[in-house]
Amino acid sequence: MRYIALQESNKDALKAWVIRSNELLEEMKAEPNAKKRKAIIHRNKAHWREFGLLEFLKTLSNGKCWYTEARFTAEYPHLEHFRPKSYARQVSGVICHDGYWWLAFDIENYRLSKPMPNTRKGTYFPLRDHAMAVCKPGIAVTRESPMFLDPSNEDDVALIGFNALGESEPCKEPPIDLDEWDKLRVAFSIQRYGLNDKDLCDQRKALWISINAMFDEFAVFGLKAKRECCIESAGKAKQIRAELKKFLNPSNEFTALIRDCFKSHQVGRSLYPQLSAM
């Protein structure tokens, strides 16, 4: 999971879409009957499936799932409502909220997802304190403390890291020490988003092994170049360095894992500040 700057993004290309969203919101606000409001949402679900909207959201993540950082391939991207539009469930599965209907057409409530995270998350949306749940428009949802980590929240993304097995885990070197609530959020999000699905872990582990092998190779050639003044070894070390830099391209899959892989190895820690700044 890497930070997606959704709130700060330039949405000028979506002006017509936003205007229609506001019209639908006003229509729902004017309807006091909850069932009829849900009918309005159902009738207009094609609005959040518009090609232009999906393409805009894909550009924010370089064509990758906002939760797993796996690239979208043949499958159709899922438009996931972070705060459920119809109803929300606690950890136990019990319904605890009638749904954030006024956010059904709000772009800032959207997260672009592979099928698995969206399906597994479903209508779950537990809060730290359900007494703080926002149940009507006009009140800022920022007063809530969701259990789910949010890829559009930079502080949330800083809580999660990766290990050599390709597994998601609590960040080893967080900016601020993780408390029990942070650890609970990380564990819950990993489980419900399916971040440690075997196929994902296998892909990430293979990438970690490949990068580490290049670190070791760089060290061997670099040391030989230094000790023996070997021009050929110096050239090979330079070539490996250039290949390692390519891994830090933000368009790559699993960039959060790549970052942690660099920071876990002596060579990677040394090269990371230089290569990431270039």
pLDDT at residue 278, as a whole number:
66
pLDDT at residue 75, as a whole number:
78
Exposure string of 191-218, with b = 16+ CB inside 10 Å and e = fewer, is: ebbbbbbeebbebbbebbeebbebbebb
Cα of 191 vs its chain's centroid, Å: 14
Q: Measuring CA to CA, which residue among 20, 75, 102 is closest to residue 53?
A: 20
Q: Is residue 83 within 8 Å of residue 103, measured between CB atoms? A: yes
Q: How many other C-beta atoms can be found within 10 angstroms of the C-beta atom of residue 50?
A: 15
Query: Which tokens is 273 given?
Result: 């500040």
Bridge partners, 161 (sequence order): 169
Query: Which tokens is 76 given?
Result: 């159709």
Region of 77 on the Ramachandran plot (φ > 0 left; ψ -120 to 50 alpha; else beta): beta
Amino acid identity of residue 239, one-letter, is Q
Q: Is residue 236 within 8 Å of residue 221, measured between CB atoms? A: yes
Q: Is residue 218 within 8 Å of residue 168, measured between CB atoms? A: no
**Burial grade of 12 (CB within 10 A; 0-12, 13-18, 19 or more):** exposed
Alpha-helix runs per DSSP H in the chain:
15-29, 34-43, 51-60, 115-121, 154-157, 180-193, 198-228, 231-246, 255-263, 266-277
Neighbouring residues of 42: CB distance < 8 A, sequence distance ≥ 6? none
3-class SS of residue 182 = helix
Q: What is the pLDDT along the chain (278 residues), one digit of tens a residue?
A: 889 999 999 999 999 999 999 999 999 999 999 999 999 999 999 999 999 999 999 999 999 999 999 999 877 899 999 999 999 999 999 999 999 999 999 999 999 999 999 999 999 999 999 999 999 999 999 999 999 999 999 999 999 999 999 999 999 988 889 999 999 999 999 999 999 999 999 999 999 999 999 999 999 999 998 888 889 999 999 999 999 999 999 999 999 999 999 999 999 999 999 898 86
Long-range contacts of 34-37 (CB under 8 A, 24+ apart): 34/98, 34/101, 37/101
The sign of the CA dihedral 152, 154, 158, 159 is negative
Q: How many other C-beta atoms can be found within 10 angstroms of the C-beta atom of residue 185?
A: 24
Bridge partners, 111 (sequence order): 80
Amino acid identity of residue 59, one-letter, is T
